Amino acid sequence: MFALPVAALLAGHSAVPDGGPRLGSLLETFLPWLGLAVPPLLLFTLLRRRTPVALCAALLPALTWVWLFGPHLLPRPEPRPDLTVVQHNVNDVNPDPAATARAVAAPRPDLIALEEVTPDSLPVIRAVLRARYPHHASSGTVALFSRHPLGDVRPLDIRPAGVDPSWRRALRATVRLPRHGEIAVHVAHLPSVRVSPVAGFTSGRRDESARLLAAAIDAEPLPRVLLLGDLNSTLDDGGLAPLTSRLATPVHGGFSFTWPAAFPLARIDQALARGPRGLHVSSLPPTPSDHLPLLARIRL
C-alpha cells in the first residue's frame, strides 16, 4: 500500500509541486533519508506473508533508492588533485575561531573558503592562517584564503529583493595558479531556510539568490570557475537548478553530509565547477562550528 507512493516520491521528486509551502524543496533536501521507509515495508510484507506480487511491490522503493543513490556508495579512486580546497561555514557564534582555522588548514589545501565570518573572528582566523595563506579576500561575512596570488577581487550582489544593502555574502576572485593559470573562484552563502507549520519551507529567498549567483557565473569571462559555499541546500533540490545546470557536480564516495555537525543529515556545503575535469568531495572531522568542513580535490 505504501511502497508505490514511496517509490513514486523517490523517482518523481522533481515533480512534487514547489509553490506555496515548497514541499518539493523540503523533500529533495532530505531525499536520501526516504530510504528509511524501505526496511519497515519489507518487514511488514514478509510478516504478513503477502503474495510474490506484494513482495515485488515492496522491493520497488528499495530498487529505486539504489538506482538514485547507489553510485554514492561505490568506491571510486580519488583523483590526484591539481587543486585542493576546504569549504566551511564557521558559524557566527563560534566559540573558538582559532581552533576552527587550524582545523581547516590541517589538510594543507590550496584554498580555504569560509562563511559566517564575523568582524571579531576575522582577525583571529587571519592571524592563524597568515603564514601559510598570505593572500586573503573578504566581503561581508564570506572570506577566501589562498596560497596563490589573488586578483580582480570584488563583492557579488546576490541580495534577494527587499534585503538591506549591508547584507553581503558573496565574493569573486581570480586565483593565479603557478602551473595551471587562472581560475575564477566564487564564494557564496545563500540565505537560510526555515520550516514553519504556517509558511512551510521558506526557501524563496535562497532560490532568488541562487538565480542571481547563476547570472554572475554566466557573466564570468574566465573559462574555469569554482563555486564554494554554504548553499543551504542539497544538489538534489530543484531550488539550486540555476547552479547545477551550469556547473559540474562532484563525483564522490559516500554522501559527505556536512550539517548539522552533531548528526549530519544533509550536505548543504558545496563545491561546484565549470571547466575542471574532475571533482571529488568528502567531509572532514568536526570543528567548533555547527557545520562539518568539506574538502574538495580538483583535477584541472
Residues 26, 109, single domain; the answer is no
Q: What angle do CA 126, 294, 239 make, to 5 degrees?
A: 110
Q: Report the pLDDT averaged over residues 3-19.
A: 74
Is pLDDT larger for residue 278 or for residue 98? 98
Check residue 63 and give its pLDDT.
Answer: 83
Query: Which residue type occupies 237?
Result: D
In a domain, 16, yes or no: yes
DSSP the chain: --HHHHHHHHHTGGGS--STT-HHHHHHHTGGGGGGGHHHHHHHHHHTT--HHHHHHHHHHHHHHHHHHHHHHS--PPP--SEEEEEEE--TT-S-HHHHHHHHHTT--SEEEEES--TTHHHHHHHHHTTT--EEEEETTEEEEESS-EEEEEE---PPTT--TT---EEEEEEEETTTEEEEEEEEEPPP--EETTTEE--HHHHHHHHHHHHHHHT--SS-EEEEEE-SS-TT-GGGHHHHTTSBPP--SS----BSTTS--B--EEEEEES-SEEEEEE----SSSS--EEEEEE-
Q: How far is CA 182 from CA 14, 148, 281, 295, in A?
A: 36, 10, 22, 21
Residues 64, 178, single domain; the answer is no
| CATH value at residue 291 | 3.60.10.10
Contact yes or no for 171/142 (Cβ under 8 A): yes
In a domain, 158, yes or no: yes
pLDDT at residue 26 greater than cutoff 90:
no
Residues 7, 109, single domain; the answer is no
Check residue 18 and give its pLDDT.
Answer: 66
Grid coordinates of 100: 576552527
In a domain, 179, yes or no: yes
Check residue 209 and give its pLDDT.
Answer: 98
In a domain, 65, yes or no: yes
Check residue 267 and give its pLDDT.
Answer: 95
Give the domain-ending residue among 73, 98, 127.
73
Residues 63, 120, single domain; the answer is no
Residues 90, 146, single domain; the answer is yes
Q: Report the pLDDT averaged over residues 78-83.
A: 83
Residues 68, 145, single domain; the answer is no
Question: How would residue 39 be classed by pLDDT, with cut points 50, 70 and 90?
Answer: confident
Q: Report the pLDDT averaged over residues 81-99.
A: 97
Residues 93, 26, single domain; the answer is no
Check residue 292 and give its pLDDT.
Answer: 98
Question: How would residue 47 be classed by pLDDT, with cut points 50, 70 and 90?
Answer: confident
The residue segments making up the domain with residue 39 are: 3-73
The count of domains in the chain is 2
- Among 2-11, 179-188, 276-285, 290-299, which stretch is predicted with the lowest mean pLDDT? 2-11
In a domain, 164, yes or no: yes
| CA distance linking residue 98 with residue 266, whole number of Å | 26
Give the domain-ending residue among 50, 73, 96.
73
pLDDT in tens, 192-235: 987 766 556 678 899 999 999 999 999 999 999 999 999 999 99
Check residue 205 and give its pLDDT.
Answer: 93
In a domain, 22, yes or no: yes
Residues 102, 149, single domain; the answer is yes
Check residue 208 and give its pLDDT.
Answer: 97
Grid coordinates of 189: 552563502
Residues 205, 179, single domain; the answer is yes
- Decide the pairing of beta strands 294-299 and 83-89: antiparallel
Question: How would residue 65 be classed by pLDDT, with cut points 50, 70 and 90?
Answer: confident
Residues 138, 278, single domain; the answer is yes
Mean pLDDT for the chain overall: 89
**Which of 254, 186, 256 is CA-nearest to residue 220?**
186
Check residue 69 and give its pLDDT.
Answer: 80
Contacts of 72 (CB under 8 A, 6+ apart): 252, 253, 254, 255
Grid coordinates of 296: 574538495
Is pLDDT larger for residue 232 or for residue 72? 232
pLDDT in tens, 128-175: 999 999 999 999 999 999 999 999 999 999 999 999 999 999 999 999
Check residue 178 and give its pLDDT.
Answer: 94
Check residue 79 and give its pLDDT.
Answer: 63
pLDDT at residue 62 greater than cutoff 70:
yes
Give the domain-ending residue among 33, 49, 73.
73
In a domain, 78, yes or no: no
Residues 121, 153, single domain; the answer is yes
Residues 216, 251, single domain; the answer is yes
Check residue 53 and give its pLDDT.
Answer: 67
In a domain, 54, yes or no: yes
Query: Which residue type occupies 168?
Result: R
Q: How far is CA 71 from CA 29, 74, 256, in A?
A: 18, 5, 13
